[in-house]
Amino acid sequence: MERFSSERDRYFMKNALNISLRGIGNTFPNPSVGVVIVKNNQIVSRGWTQPGGKPHAEVVALKKKSFFGATLYTTLEPCSHYGNTPPCVNQIIKSRIKRVVIGLKDPNPLINGNGITKLKSKKIKITLGILKDEIKKTHLGFFNKIKKKKPFVSTKIAISRNGKMINNNNSWITSEDSRSYGNFLRAKHDVIVTGIETVLKDNPTLNCRHYGMQKFSPVRIILDSKLRIKENLKIIKTAKKIKTYIFTNFNNEKKIRRLKKYGISVKFHNNNLKNIINEIANMGFNNVLLEAGPNLNYFFLKDKLIDKIYYFKSKNDIKIEKIFSEKKLSLKNISKLKFKNLYFNNIGNDTLRIFEK
């Protein structure tokens, strides 16, 4: 018989939590779950949710048929229903696991305690709530989507010392280190949302450029109410490689047919940002990264749609007058919006602050 303690449970659950981070940003519509299996006080198998949400972490960890007498640690309650995959609880039972330690109950109405009930009915011991607060932070997007019909929305703001986000000479505002970190953030989000002004002005690809991470480039959504997108832009030319949506309320059938040939999906939607964010949740996305200029950032903040801010501030000035929306994105104004400053550090020649509601 294995002896267990809350200290040991926290240790192994921490391992499961760390493993779950590998899938963040590419498991939608499912959360990124981590699992470790422990026997004789040793980790004998592990798994995390795979891209696209399947196979589930439990299935990956339970690739062997039997783990007689072992303990399974999972960050989220195992599923108990037939969806795109069979129930994970069935695999756990067949593997002869004797105890399951669960970080959090799954809020999905199809599960929400049913997995625990089924495991208990087979005399499998259950421990619930280990590292629940830490785990909840990693699953905030999924929890928001289920409970609030809203994904977790982060934004990335790059701003000069004197508060400018727009540089008319097209040179970078922040350092290469800041831009590298900002590019890494894309891999940890399911989808990037941007505005047509950013696309037309900067002609971005909005992909992951780091070596080996290109395959983790997120889905791209362009908010383009008047369908001003041009067909020669990078984001259009790469749409067959990276799933891309345009949200518009302008029905130009001829142009839409051409865009579809590039691989673009067009969704008709009004300009109400709250409705757009709800639609993004309905599409299955958990974690959204807003990459846009000052105007769209201002309107997202005004509508209380932002949950987290990555605030990169340069030590350089840009000597042109600030526009209204840039003034509203100052550190002083953000503090008035009741964001908590979670992190502060130097990065390259800049500073990075991370704020969260």
Taken in order of first residue, the domains within the chain and their CATH numbers are 4-144 (3.40.140.10), 149-356 (3.40.430.10)
> How far apart are the C-alpha atoms of 286 and 297, rounded to whole Å?
19
Task: Write out the catalytic residue numbers.
Answer: 58
> How far apart are the C-alpha atoms of 190 and 28, rounded to whole Å?
7
The whole-number average pLDDT for the span 308-315 is 96
For the chain, what is the mean pLDDT? 93
* CA dihedral over 172, 290, 49, 46, signed as positive or negative: positive
Q: Which residues pair with 72 in a beta bridge?
A: 37, 100
**5: pLDDT confidence band, cut at 50, 70 and 90?**
low
pLDDT digits (tens, 9 = 90+) for 342-356: 999 999 999 999 999
Is the model's pLDDT at 82 over the cut of 80? Answer: no
**61: pLDDT confidence band, cut at 50, 70 and 90?**
very high
Tokens representing 285 are 């996305």
pLDDT of 3:
47
pLDDT of 192:
98
DSSP letters of 215-270?
Answer: GGPPEEEEE-TT----TTSHHHHTTTTS-EEEEES---HHHHHHHHHTTEEEEE--
Long-range contacts of 249-255 (CB under 8 A, 24+ apart): 249/225, 250/225, 250/226, 252/227, 255/227
Tokens representing 68 are 């007689």
**320: pLDDT confidence band, cut at 50, 70 and 90?**
confident
Select from 257, 199, 258, 271 the least CA-distant residue to 229.
199
pLDDT of 151:
96
pLDDT of 110:
85
Percentage, residues of the chain above pLDDT 90: 84
pLDDT of 2:
43
The residue among 231 and 65 whose pLDDT is bigger is 231
> How far apart are the C-alpha atoms of 291 and 280, rounded to whole Å?
15
The whole-number average pLDDT for the span 58-77 is 93
User: With left for phi above 0 and alpha for psi between -120 and 50, is residue 156 left, alpha or beta?
Assistant: beta
Sheet hosting strand 42-48, strand order edge to edge: 42-48, 34-39, 71-76, 99-104, 125-128
The whole-number average pLDDT for the span 319-325 is 87
pLDDT digits (tens, 9 = 90+) for 247-285: 999 999 999 999 999 999 999 998 899 999 999 999 999
pLDDT digits (tens, 9 = 90+) for 159-210: 999 999 988 777 899 999 999 999 999 999 999 999 999 999 999 999 999 8
